[in-house]
Amino acid sequence: MLNMRQFSVLLIMLSGGLILVGCATSSPIQRYSESTSKFSVPPELMSNDYPAKDIFRIYQRASSGFTPLQSLRSDLEKRAFKFADQQGKSFLVLGERISQPPYILGNFPRIEIVFALIDKTEKPIDAVPKYDKFSELEKLKKLLDNGTLTKEEYEKEKKKILDKN
């Protein structure tokens, strides 16, 4: 059973009489745990607590070396978005693997993305702002400088910020 959509492209270069045949490949969206990577080394995933049933893999290979990787990535993200949207979810990319140039002699751009389905209301992990004590100290110093805080209040709040992990 063939699980991939394949598109053939024939490119004839008249100057040298050379015929190059390329085949673009786009995999269906599959559960990560039930599929294998198209790369010898699968994408490295960020640590996560998403259930295996919500993690998926998608792959695409260009038909020539002239397709930019960003174009492939965009196509895959559109497919992942549509897939997630059909299930009333959003998605978060957990990892990706790309082929390395030069994109010649059959080494065409390839990309594999692993993503998790998440609730539309859930903030993706990388969208959660990181605690930055230096910007907090800077804000605190401005409050001291404009007279909102006394020196004692400033020192007390500064200690709280510096004691946070």
**36-95 pLDDT tens trace:** 999 999 999 998 899 999 999 999 999 888 888 888 999 999 999 999 999 999 999 999
- Alpha carbons within 13 angstroms on the beta-carbon side of residue 75 total 19
CB 2 within 8 A of CB 17: no
Q: What pLDDT score does 82 carry?
A: 95
Q: What are the pLDDT digits (tens) for 114-136?
A: 999 999 887 655 544 555 677 78
d(C-alpha 24, C-alpha 67), whole Å: 10
**pLDDT score of 111 more than 50:** yes
Pick from 23, 105, 29: which is nearest to 61 by CA? 23
pLDDT at 87: 93
Give the separation between CA 105 and CA 46, rounded to whole angstroms: 33
Whether the Cβ atoms of residue 22 and residue 11 lie closer than 8 Å to each other: yes
The whole-number pLDDT of residue 36 equals 94
**pLDDT tens digits for 149-160?**
899 988 998 888
Q: Are 96 and 76 in contact (CB under 8 A)?
A: no
User: Is residue 3's pLDDT more than 60?
Assistant: no
Q: How is the chain split into domains, by residue range?
A: 27-125, 133-163
Question: Is the per-residue pLDDT at 11 higher than 80?
Answer: no
Name which residue leads in pLDDT, 14 or 95.
95
Query: Can you give the pLDDT at residue 138?
Result: 81
**pLDDT greater than 60 at residue 35:** yes
| The residue to which tokens 């110093």 are assigned | 141
Residue 6 scores a pLDDT above 50: no
Give the mean pLDDT of the chain.
Answer: 80
- State the Cα–Cα distance between residues 149 and 141, nearest whole angstrom: 9
Q: Give pLDDT, residue 140.
A: 82
